[in-house]
C-alpha cells in the first residue's frame, strides 16, 4: 500500500464550519498577464480544511499550535471504521480500539458522503462526550475524524473538545478517509507553524504498516 493523502484540498467554495471564514484565493501576479511568475494572496481561517486543534483552542493559556508535540501527530495510528448506520460515536463504537493505541482516526459515513461531493452538512457523525472520555482514559493522545468538528453540540458548551484538549489530547479534524480501510497505519501530519495559533491547517498522509 502506498501513501494515502487524507487531507482536504483548499479551494474557493470548499466546506467550512458555520461561522468560520471562507477560503479565498486572489491572483497577485500571473504569467499570462505579463508577470514573470505566478503568485496568489490567500485568506483562510485557522481551522480551514484538514487542521489540528491545539489545547489553546479551548483552554486559556494552554499551548498553541506552534508548541504542540509533533511526535503526537506523527507515528503509528489506527483507522477505526464506524458502521454507516451509527449517527454518533460512543464507548460502544470504540470497543474495537486496541489497548495501547495512541492515535485513532475515526472513519464514518462522513467520508463516503465527501467522496461524492465536498460540501458541509449539518448531520455529520461525531464523537460523544462519553466516547471522548473512553478514548482519553484508554491512553489515546490524538483523535482524528472525518468531519470539520469532532463533536456536534447544540448546547454550545463543547464538552468533547474540553474533555480532550483539557487533558492534552490533540484533535485532528477535516480528514478524508474514504480511501483508508480500517487498520494500522503510520500517520504523518504537520500543521502550519502559526505563532500562538489556535489551530493549524495541515497536510496529513497515511502509509500502511
- The answer to whether residue 47 is catalytic is no
CB atoms within 10 A of CB 175: 29
Q: How many CA atoms lie within 13 A of 194 on its CB side?
A: 21
Is the separation of the CB atoms in 177 and 113 below 8 Å?
no
Between strands 51-53 and 4-5, the pairing is unpaired
Catalytic residue among 51, 57, 162, 167: 57
Q: Is 192 exposed, middle or buried (0-12, 13-18, 19+ CB in 10 A)?
A: middle
**Annotated catalytic sites, by residue?**
57
Amino acid at each position: 500500500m502506498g501513501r494515502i493523502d487524507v487531507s482536504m484540498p483548499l479551494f474557493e467554495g470548499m466546506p467550512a464550519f458555520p461561522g468560520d471564514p471562507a477560503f479565498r484565493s486572489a491572483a497577485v501576479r500571473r504569467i499570462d498577464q505579463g508577470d514573470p511568475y505566478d503568485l496568489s494572496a490567500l485568506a483562510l481561517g485557522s481551522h480551514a480544511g484538514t487542521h489540528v486543534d491545539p489545547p489553546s483552542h479551548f483552554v486559556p493559556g494552554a499551548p498553541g499550535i506552534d508548541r504542540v508535540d509533533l511526535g503526537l501527530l506523527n507515528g503509528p495510528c489506527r483507522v477505526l471504521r464506524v458502521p454507516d448506520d451509527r449517527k454518533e460515536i460512543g464507548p460502544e463504537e470504540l470497543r474495537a480500539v486496541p489497548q495501547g493505541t495512541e492515535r485513532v482516526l475515526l472513519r464514518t459515513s462522513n467520508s463516503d458522503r465527501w467522496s461524492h461531493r465536498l460540501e458541509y452538512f449539518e448531520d455529520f457523525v461525531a464523537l460523544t462526550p462519553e466516547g471522548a472520555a473512553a478514548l482519553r482514559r484508554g491512553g489515546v493522545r490524538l483523535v482524528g475524524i472525518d468531519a470539520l468538528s469532532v463533536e456536534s453540540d447544540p448546547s454550545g458548551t463543547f464538552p468533547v473538545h474540553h474533555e480532550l484538549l483539557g487533558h492534552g489530547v490533540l484533535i485532528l479534524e477535516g480528514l478524508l478517509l474514504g480511501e483508508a480501510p480500517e487498520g494500522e497505519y503510520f500517520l504523518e501530519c504537520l500543521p502550519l507553524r502559526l505563532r500562538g495559533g489556535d489551530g493549524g491547517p495541515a497536510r496529513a498522509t497515511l502509509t500502511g504498516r
